Structure 1
């Protein structure tokens, strides 16, 4: 039985075939604090970096409008500005979660479709490549023109940014299945659906998780960029506002929140990788 008969030709998406696996191993399985000593070392480095930055900024008397001290940034989280920032952070999360749910769902469905129907791959892939190579932020003004200044254009931008990432990695994972396992399953009378759910999905889980993680990160970046372009609400809008009135402590406080969101996304998929794809390590 040939590869063509099995429908297992690996699709070409314009990226190295080993990149996804390497990214999966390094991103989901190969990193993590394993001991108390490592935890202490990480905390010590963080304290040295923050303390060193505080000392140098004070020593050279760097103006706050150029670079605020870490202490002034932390002080923002104990000021009256917290409710305002929290409200805008909530808007950003709504945009991210809504757009991500739509984009990731469509990406997974398209990945399954082109895996099972090679002809569909030839039709869909050029448009997916077009979306991948087109910066979604460039489309935000057009989306605002069509959908207004509410959530809709930002959610659409996030969905368009994360969907192709999920699809590419998931489809690559679905294709990278041992042909011998599929041939054996078919020799026992397994249907296409059974092969997909019992063999392809479990074996592709590491790549699927990588796609979901990349999609979430790209979605967060796109959401913030769309807020900066559209204004009104969201952490991106706050960044624009604070920079325009030279409130740098609040500006960097928003950046810190966004950085923490990115770290939480990584930790979530790291945990899922341990639970669902720990066998690969």
Structure 2
């Protein structure tokens, strides 16, 4: 099939890979804004901090103060971009613009990943609204929802890419993407468990540090979708439908 000669204007301007890029920039910018504000203010001890011995603020401690609108905006944009990144991969595979799914199990894993992203995204937005200073219990509930949603989404994605890579072992990009996401999932799971234990044991300084690290690792996971979505920027509908015929020419993909 020959590629179309004239693409619609929106196809020339818009591409799905822009969502993980934009979402990552917004998320890192939000985190840096909160951290810089806290440092410039002299690393104050906020009312929401659990003990006088806590010297490192949680993200939520800073976000419950003056920069709460920034956190809500940043969390909302990041959540939407995260969800659309996974939806974009599903759509491009369905349209045959990137290597398509080859089994029902892969599609099920994809929908699990999207559902987890929606749950996690909603949790992130709500935890930014119900801050830890005024709604501590509710905030922690939505923090748990966010972490669980992201982990379920990551697990679904890893399983989908595991099966994809199994059916397309010639694709180095799929192999790279699978292992990258698998590593991120294991690291995020370990950090989430460590964070929960430290929070329960009220080891707040260590817990706060782990929370900041976890948030930054999430950025790397979101960025990993750029390489999955990038081929869809130039491909046309159905180009990868009969992917085995493309194998000799596309071994690098």
Fold similarity call, TM over 0.5: no
* TM-score (structure 2 length as normaliser): 0.34
Larger-Rg structure = 1
* TM-score (structure 1 length as normaliser): 0.31
**Between structures 1 and 2, the one with greater helix share:** 1
